Each structure stands twice: as C-alpha cells, then as structure tokens.
Amino acid sequence: MIDIHCHLLPQIDDGSDSAEKSLEQLRLMAEGGVSDAFLTSHYMPGHYQYERAEYDARLRQLRELARQNGIGIKLHPGFEIYLHPFSLKDIQKHDLRLGDSRYILVESDLNGLPSDFYENLYPLLRQGYRPILAHAERYVSIMNKVHDAKDLIRRDVYIQVNAGSLLGLYGEKVRQTAWLLLRNGWAHFLASDDHAKAPYGAYFKAVELLKTELDAEIPQLLTSEFPAKILRDEKVPFKYLYLRAGHEHRRRQKKSLWKRIFG
C-alpha cells in the first residue's frame, strides 16, 4: 500500500512534533503493509511556508533515521497546498509536486469551496498539473451536495478520501459523505492524513471495512494501484468502475451461453 497523504515530516507543520513520533508511525505503517508514503506537509501562505531546501534536508534526515532503525518504508516528497491566487507561482518556485509526478495535493476552505476555487485551479490544470483534492468529504459544500464531487471530477480534479472519515473520526456527516463518495465511484485515493496524534491504524481499519462493506478491489485500487500510478507519473482513470473484473466475467458468461445454444 502507498499512503499519499500524511504529515509525518517532523516539526514543519501541525503534524508530527518529533522524529521519534514519526519513526513510531512509520514503523506501524511498514508493519501493516505500507511500502511507500508521500510526506505531504502543509504549504499554506502565512501559516506554513518554507524553502524547498529546508523540506528536503528534513526529508533526508528522516530517511536516514528510518534506515538506521530498520524501517523499510520508502519516503517521497509531497505537499498539501492550500489553494490561493498565487498557488501556481508557489508550486513552480518550490516544486510542490508529489514526488517527480505531475500530481499535486490541494486543499481549500473546509467551510465550503470558495467562489474562486476553479479560478485558482485552472492555471494549474493548464500547466499540466494533476490536482487531487485532499479529504473532499470534509468540505461543507460537498457534505451538503455530494454530487458536486462529480463536477470536480468532470473538471479533471481527482478526489482523495481520508481513512478516518470512513470510521467516523470527523463526525457522522463526514462519515456519510465519505461512504457516498466511495459507493458512487467518486474517490480515487484513500489516504491517512495522519498527523501523529494517535498510533497509526485508522488506515488499516478503513481498508478492512471497505473490503467487507464494498469489495476487496476498491481498497486495492485506492491504496495501491492508483497511488502506484503517481509514482510512475501515469494517468489515473477518472472513471474506474469499468475496470472491475465482474465485467470480464459477465462477458465470458455471455459467450458460453451463446455457445450452449448455438454451438
């Protein structure tokens, strides 16, 4: 599994406040089967601003500590960019992409996507970036009108859902919205958004719950196959239900019925 959204780079945002805590979370991740993680520190003008060199130095340090402690998880650079009119400039200046891909993780005002949301987003799309909206289920406007997610996808925005949302950790309304996004096929990535405030575990619980409530293929796509495409900078399909093996199965059944009647 590949966790594309967590705040485990220590002392750079509101996530992990020490290297020890980060290492403990990384150990739990590795033990549970997470092979790679994008350490998506907040990048929010006026709150969390830093030079890319500072981020990279911290990342190198954490990688080295993980290695020394025998934690075999691969750590990739990443950022959670708070969208604003100058986001494109920041992204280009500090290279705020997920790893070496064209994907970028973006967030906005949780009280509701602001009226200039698309205005701020289009310049990024025009430059070839592939935006992923972080924890879409936590925006009041999407909670009130979950079909808005469909509009986002039509406008080439990918949707990421937090594992904790599926478990109800952000409240009932967020939980319901997260499940609706999943059930409608309007989510492309499941991630932890872990801030090292509690032992890493919600991600695994959510994966298990998805297996029982939906099927095993959805968590496989959202935690492994699609995130792996980010690592390879390949395009994640906006619609993916058609990929399900059931369609192949039905086609095969139809063929054999034809053969049974006429063959």
User: Which spans of this chain sit near Fe ion (rule: CB under 5 A)?
Assistant: 80, 193
Question: CB of 194: closest distance to Fe ion in angstroms?
Answer: 9
Question: CB of 58: closest distance to Fe ion in angstroms?
Answer: 17
Contact (Cβ atoms closer than 8 angstroms) between residue 38 and residue 3: yes
Question: CB of 167: closest distance to Fe ion in angstroms?
Answer: 16
Q: Which helix (H) or strand (E) holds 107?
A: strand 103-107
Question: CB of 207: closest distance to Fe ion in angstroms?
Answer: 19
**Nearer to Fe ion (CB atom), residue 160 or residue 185:** 160
Tell me 94's DSSP state.
H
- State the Cα–Cα distance between residues 64 and 106, nearest whole angstrom: 28
Compute CA 80 distance to the chain's CA centroid, rounded to the nearest angstrom.
10
**Nearer to Fe ion (CB atom), residue 36 or residue 80:** 80
- State the Cα–Cα distance between residues 222 and 177, nearest whole angstrom: 17
Question: CB of 193: closest distance to Fe ion in angstroms?
Answer: 4
Question: CB of 41: closest distance to Fe ion in angstroms?
Answer: 9
**Nearer to Fe ion (CB atom), residue 6 or residue 66:** 6
Contact (Cβ atoms closer than 8 angstroms) between residue 42 and residue 14: yes
Q: DSSP alpha helices (H): ranges in 69-200?
A: 87-94, 117-126, 140-144, 148-154, 163-166, 172-183
Which residue of the chain is nearest Fe ion when measured via CB? 193
**Nearer to Fe ion (CB atom), residue 133 or residue 185:** 133
**Nearer to Fe ion (CB atom), residue 195 or residue 205:** 195
> Where would I find the beta strands (DSSP E) of 117-257?
130-133, 158-162, 189-191
**Nearer to Fe ion (CB atom), residue 48 or residue 240:** 48
Report, in angstroms and rounded to the nearest whole number, the Rg of the chain calculated over CA atoms. Answer: 19
